[in-house]
Chains A and B, each alone.
Chain A
Amino acid sequence: MTNIEKTVRPTGTPPAGPKAIKAIPVRHYGRYVSAVVAIGILASIIYAFGQGKINWDAVPSYFFDSRILKGVGQTMLLTVVSMLIGIVGGVLLAVMRLSKNPVTSSISWFYIWFFRGTPVLVQLFVWFNLGLVFEYINLGPIYKNYWSDFMTPFLTALLGLGLNEAAYMAEICRAGLLSVDEGQTEASHALGMSHGKTLRRIIIPQAMRVIVPPTGNEVINMLKTTSLVSAVQYPELLRYAQDIGQTSGAPVEMLFLAAAWYLVLTSVLSVGQYYIERYYARGSSRQLPSTPFQKLKATVFSFGRPKGGTA
């Protein structure tokens, strides 16, 4: 029986369906063992925490406390503004790094080397303590003030986090820009588009596909890193939770509460990231991945219909 004979089968006759294989599946005993072990460990951890003297009721009762909410607000504000500084600075540094001008590209290299190579907490302390070496800030006729009045805790936190982030974002953006095929630049130039237009209209939209996922990572990282700025006297979620913990006599519970809030915020950010990635995936894959809502809809409406009807 050859394939050719198969294809000349008269139309109309249904193909003789192959017989389904009936066999005894391999038993994966290792899987059962590892599942039992994992569940056992998990249960004992939960049990241990149940034994601890933890006043669980304190968590929900303070969850929407006005100070906590204020802290959440401050954390989000700091995350957003620091990330903006990081992204704008990162794009600038990446373009500088890739430029043909050896001076700008070296400066960018040096910046990245310095800010990536020192701990962000040290950077925060440096910004915080610059008042010890500068008495005034003097920008000529534009602005002049005492350093201590100028460098508020918020500005310290922003500069510390934002400038550090710019170094990381620069590398992410550079990778994104380099990922776009050179032919795209050539095609764009051949159509008479300038360098700037080519970058804005052709290169960056394609680079975004590569840039967005690690940037989402960076945002989540940033949200968590903001907890460091309590060291420079800027009050945010963790600081408020600790303050409440000290006055209410439930310090550990308040740390759990803070952790829960960080989890909520990072979860929200992950959902946002999913949709941004989906937007920039247009054109790159033949069919966009469906949103969770669309998946749900498809499941509900295809209920009762034979499976595989919708591909």
Chain B
Amino acid sequence: MTEKVNSGTPKADSGAPMVKSEGVHKSFGPLEVLKGIDLEVKSGEVFCLIGPSGSGKSTFLRCINHLEKINAGRLSVDGERVGYRQQGDKLYELRDREVAVKRRDIGMVFQRFNLFPHMTAAENITEAPVQVRGVNKGQARERAMQLLERVGLADKAGSYPSQLSGGQQQRVAIARALAMDPKLMLFDEPTSALDPELVGDVLDVMRDLAESGMTMIVVTHEMGFAREVGDSLVFMDGGVVVESGHPRDVLTNPQHKRTQGFLSKML
């Protein structure tokens, strides 16, 4: 690893949780998607979320950077409550602007990439640093080139997303998130929309990132990746955490019936 990702942000003590979730509930109308999620993600760890579709793992991930508002419970990132500010015994909802400030430090990678189609790969990466952090364009461009090189796409700086394969787009999307120097990266099924042969490239980049010490929460169906790279793993079903532990233990020796059933279909 030539470059340290977290160079700008001071790392929390290795013991302090980066994300702490206590009894998090989330409903969409009458449909309760999260029914009390308790978990802790330590700083610097790769935390994998697995489970059948509809189990609420993506929703939980989106709650972490407040793309979804939670209905009950307490969710905090790096010691600060997500979406609210506590003053005395009163809880104030954060303004959009304040939420935006907090999101700067949390990178997110989507299943469907969501690159900006009217911008080249390099422009996609420089957009947020220039517009949000006020980095000057030359510096942002230089950093974008470094990041593109890191994800193996140095020659694609001038390409538009429509000219890139799915795997290449997802790697640009990872570079785009890294350009903000996040202290936490969220991956929402980053390889689910890819052709099988392109999955490897994206996983390589993520593995690389994990080795550099980035805190990562990964919603995935890639059990191989979870076992190899993951430090913790949680199996979710029906809006609750069914089983958690070290990926090797959970994946090879699942205790719960539902976990066993799910894994037998996956492997």
* Chain A residues close to B by CB (< 8 Å): 181, 183-184, 186-195, 197, 201-202, 205-206, 280, 282-286
CB distance from B45 to the nearest CB of A (A): 21
What are the residues of chain A within 8 A of B176 when measuring CB–CB?
191
What are the residues of chain A within 8 A of B131 when measuring CB–CB?
193, 197, 201
Residue contact A191 to B128, C-beta cutoff 8 Å: yes
Q: Which chain A residue lies CB-closest to B115?
A: A187
- Give the interface segment out of B20-28, B97-105, B246-254: B97-105
Partner of A191, one of B97, B120, B127, B162: B127
Residue contact A284 to B110, C-beta cutoff 8 Å: no
CB distance from A103 to the nearest CB of B (A): 19
What are the residues of chain B within 8 A of A284 when measuring CB–CB?
117-118, 162
Chain B, 155-193, contact with A by CB distance < 8 Å: what is the 0/1 string?
Answer: 000001111000000000100110010000000000000
Residue contact B65 to A190, C-beta cutoff 8 Å: yes
3 A-B pairs with the lowest CB-CB distances in the bound complex, closest first: A192-B104, A187-B114, A191-B128
Asked if B132 is an interface residue, CB under 8 A from chain A, the answer is yes
What are the residues of chain B within 8 A of A205 when measuring CB–CB?
118
Asked if B96 is an interface residue, CB under 8 A from chain A, the answer is yes
Bound-complex Cα distance A197 to B134 (A)? 13
Bound-complex Cα distance A285 to B160 (A)? 9
What are the residues of chain B within 8 A of A282 when measuring CB–CB?
118, 160
What are the residues of chain A within 8 A of B160 when measuring CB–CB?
282-283
Residue contact A186 to B110, C-beta cutoff 8 Å: yes
Asked if B135 is an interface residue, CB under 8 A from chain A, the answer is no
What are the residues of chain B within 8 A of A201 when measuring CB–CB?
127, 131
Partner of A286, one of B65, B118, B132, B162: B162
Q: Which chain A residue lies CB-closest to B106?
A: A190
Cβ contacts A to B, 13 pairs, < 8 Å: A183-B112, A184-B114, A187-B108, A187-B114, A187-B173, A191-B128, A191-B132, A192-B101, A192-B132, A197-B131, A206-B116, A286-B162, A286-B163
What are the residues of chain B within 8 A of A186 when measuring CB–CB?
67, 110, 114
Residue contact A194 to B97, C-beta cutoff 8 Å: yes
Q: Which chain A residue lies CB-closest to B123?
A: A283
